[in-house]
Structure 1
Amino acid sequence: MQSKFLNELHNRQLISYITNEEKLNNIINKKCISLYCGFDPTADSLHIGHLILLITLKRFQKNGHRPIIVIGGATSLIGDPSFKNKERICNINHNIDIWIQKIIKQISSFLDFNCGTNSARILNNDSWFKNINLLSFLRDTGKYFSINTMINRDSVKQRITRVDQGISFTEFSYSLLQAYDFLILYQRHKVCLQIGGSDQWGNISSGMHLIHKVLNKTVYGLTVPLLIQSNGIKFGKTESDTIWLDAKKTSPYKFYQFWMNIDDSSVYYFLKLFTFEKVSKIELLEKENNINNRIIDDKSFLAKNITSLVHGKKNLLAVERITECLFFKNIHSITELDFQQLEQDGIPSIQVSMIKDLQDALILCSFSKSRTQSKNLIQSNSISINTCKNININYVFISSDKLFNKFTLLSKGKKNHCLICWKYT
């Protein structure tokens, strides 16, 4: 009988590939298992491409299973070549140590580390790789892997066939290291399942293969869908326009707006992937949208749900205040910290110590190209200062325009905003 939990993962479209599903299903029906997922600290923050994995681990834990996180303190020094167009930049140990602490803090907000037998645990694979003997590793691990099989995997084949970007032996060895992770985790922590993004299928398969060869035991692999950008490239640390989980790198407001601006066709799919709402409720929302066209409300529901999960309710309230200000002209409730979010990455901003007048401000904010064009915009009732319309073509900013003595919100129409940040010498 299909376990209720695996059935839910299927209904949420969270399973791309799964090995020996019938056997894994039987195990999950009988007992709680330990599973793991690895994260290489190749930057100082995780990003939204990792969110599906973190939330999937949380789903397993909520169903009684024990999640183990492996931080790749060792493997991050090499870098996973899977489906990368070129070799990653090598990182230095000092950076990695700092990044690990930041990433551990992020992961800790998703999982429960004090809930009994299924408490989550974080391990660093540097603890078992740092003293490993190279010759022993090649003899005891490398002998089980066929070069022919490895080079025919899609994850590396595209690099091998490229003249301009081949693959180094360093990168090529990554799959063996990740396979060894799985072996160690099985031996020491009874981990029988590894999960990862669908681009990790080759690496996960290597671990299952190694455990079978060394111990004659069967373990399992499960991959989840990759989060793909509109240009077909997966979200990652090395890609452009990364949406980070760290609020200092991507503000909660920009994070929220990302979800508000996704394609309409992705809303209900993402609700299944990223939220804990029942699938039946999500399907009902989709049916109601087909009748009543309520996609904006459902996008907002998605954005609020994920923003609260990642950044907490306090930051969600800040996002809602900013949204009220920008879209509904309610500037009175906005705080100084809210303006700092806008300055970070919420809307375009400029830093000035002095501006001649409103006409010049429109030029500096790229709302116009000349003073003549600025005059026309002001006279056409298109310009607002701190959400209040201004039709004075000769207007000069006064102290009360500088909220918190630092910020002035200049707007052209309903959707174009620029934050003037006053700097004093």
Structure 2
Amino acid sequence: MNLFNELEKRGFIKQATHLEEIRNLINNEKIIFYIGYDPTADSLTVGHFVTLMFMSHMQKHGHKPIVLVGGGTVVVGDPTGKTDMRKMLSNETINDNLSKIKDQMKKFVDFSNDNAIMLNNADWILKLNYINFLREIGTKFSVNNMLRAECFKQRLEKGLSFIEFNYMIMQAYDFLYLNQEYNCIMQLGGDDQWSNMIAGMDLIKKTRGVQVYALTCNLLLTSNGKKMGKTENGAIWLDKEKTSVYDFYQYWRNIGDDDVEKTLKMLTFLPLDEIEDLCKVEDAEINKAKEVLAFEVTKIIHGEEEAIKCKEASKALFSGNGNLEGAPNYDVKIQENGDLFLDILVGLKILPSKSEGRRLISQGGVSIYDEKITDPNLLLEKKHFKDGKVILKRGKKNFYILNLIN
């Protein structure tokens, strides 16, 4: 099977500027392409997972990726999909985010022997002369056309700042720069970036007379159209300090039945026929496919050893026996008269807030050793610990271990 067909069958391909030309380039040539990531946080999320896998498939078939980290464009802020203006980040925060994101990229991309390039657009964006940039680049953009772009239309009623209005131009300039300096001829990205990608392609055509291409992939959505990677505790991060390895594993273990096959195809490297065989089942039997999905994605992000620990811990917590080593552990000190259970859980970030915690506990969503806790004012006392441990259950399948320390 050729690469383009495999990408289609895996569910990546969404929109293409020149479908047949792109199909030929991907299948028969070796090209340089790029995908951009703005360092808005110190970790990437599940939402970035699809484009990282997209990039990895391309590289494995001989194409050379440029991983562009937006140290310059993040200063402006991408309005796409946002109802409000992004928070302005300090240079110190941006640089800290950049260093952490770069390490995550290396799990997907082989940078050895010049097989891939990582660049920071701050190296050219922050050096631009404003007046010269307006004369040379700004004149190539029609405000009327820009206002028709989806990324701007949805913000016009609530308000769009002038700095955000520049984002499309800056991203287009990135493509122009990479085309000039690195012979990059294709931009890949999530489908929400379509307008920005088209702008870059048009800018290169107007300034250099060179034909380049844009190809978007499907966003990671559930079967009911919602973005994957969101939970009651917030986003699912790729950094284990922000989302524990066990919570990461459990997120995929518990996704909806209708989302399993699609997610296996997009977020693992398992052969397509193997995935289809796994998913030719109904009802409870789909749990086997969910276990495979959770193991494979955890292995990609956190390594095989951590994936094995999570698999064993998950089985142990469901069956009552086995190795609990992979479950998230927290050390807690308890006063003689006990401590407010809710405060402990919020402090450990097992629950996102006191208000959400009260609601969840009142509805029976938290258990200690399978006994539901319904009193938000419960004091956790030493008597609750068995052999110095409390096994805590949040929701249907999220487990945590609290260790009593002096």
Assess, with a 3 A threshold, how the Cα gap between structure 1 residues 138 and 30 changes in structure 2: closer, same or farther.
same
- Distance in 2 between the 1:416 and 1:270 partners? 20
Residue from 376, 384, 391 that aligns with 1:409: 391
Residue from 300, 309, 322 that aligns with 1:318: 309
Shift of 1:334: 3.2
| Mapping 1:266-277, distance limit 5 Å | 266-277=259-270
Runs of 4+ in 1 over 6 A off after TM superposition: 236-240, 364-369
Q: TM-score if structure 2 supplies the norm length?
A: 0.84
* Alignment pair present for 1:81 and 2:79: yes
What's the CA shift string for 1:8-48, capped at 9, x where partnerless? Answer: 11111111101112112233344200110000000000000
| Mapping 1:89-238, distance limit 5 Å | 89-114=87-112, 116=113, 119-160=115-156, 162=157, 165-228=158-221, 232-234=225-227
Percent same amino acid among aligned pairs?
A: 38
CA RMSD of aligned residues (A): 3.4
What's the CA shift string for 1:63-102, capped at 9, x where partnerless? Answer: 0000110000010011100121111111111000001000
- Distance in 2 between the 1:298 and 1:399 partners? 35
Assess, with a 3 A threshold, how the Cα gap between structure 1 residues 195 and 409 changes in structure 2: closer, same or farther.
same
- Distance in 2 between the 1:238 and 1:282 partners? 26
Shift of 1:303: 0.8
| Consecutive unaligned residues in structure 1, runs of 5 or more | 344-348, 370-376, 385-394
Shift of 1:399: 9.3
Residue of structure 1 equivalent to 2:334: 352
Assess, with a 3 A threshold, how the Cα gap between structure 1 residues 6 and 411 changes in structure 2: closer, same or farther.
closer
C-alpha contact 2:51 2:217 (8 A) present in aligned 1: yes
- Distance in 1 between the 2:130 and 2:18 partners? 33
* Alignment pair present for 1:422 and 2:391: no
- Distance in 1 between the 2:337 and 2:313 partners? 25
Larger radius of gyration: 1
C-alpha contact 2:247 2:398 (8 A) present in aligned 1: no
Shift of 1:270: 0.7
Residue of structure 1 equivalent to 2:24: 26
Q: TM-score if structure 1 supplies the norm length?
A: 0.81
Letter aligned with residue 49 of structure 1: G
C-alpha contact 1:38 1:71 (8 A) present in aligned 2: yes
C-alpha contact 1:19 1:220 (8 A) present in aligned 2: yes
What's the CA shift string for 1:357-414, capped at 9, x where partnerless? Answer: 9xx989x999999xxxxxxx99xx9659xxxxxxxxxx97499712xxxx433679x9
Assess, with a 3 A threshold, how the Cα gap between structure 1 residues 183 and 239 changes in structure 2: closer, same or farther.
farther
Shift of 1:56: 0.7
C-alpha contact 1:253 1:342 (8 A) present in aligned 2: no
Task: Please state whether the residue corresponding to 1:408 is helix, strand or coil.
Answer: strand
Aligned residues: 380
| Mapping 1:64-75, distance limit 5 Å | 64-75=62-73
- Distance in 2 between the 1:401 and 1:240 partners? 29
Residue from 274, 279, 286 that aligns with 2:279: 286
* Alignment pair present for 1:306 and 2:292: no
Task: Please state whether the residue corresponding to 2:279 is helix, strand or coil.
Answer: helix
Assess, with a 3 A threshold, how the Cα gap between structure 1 residues 417 and 146 changes in structure 2: closer, same or farther.
closer
Residue of structure 1 equivalent to 2:352: none
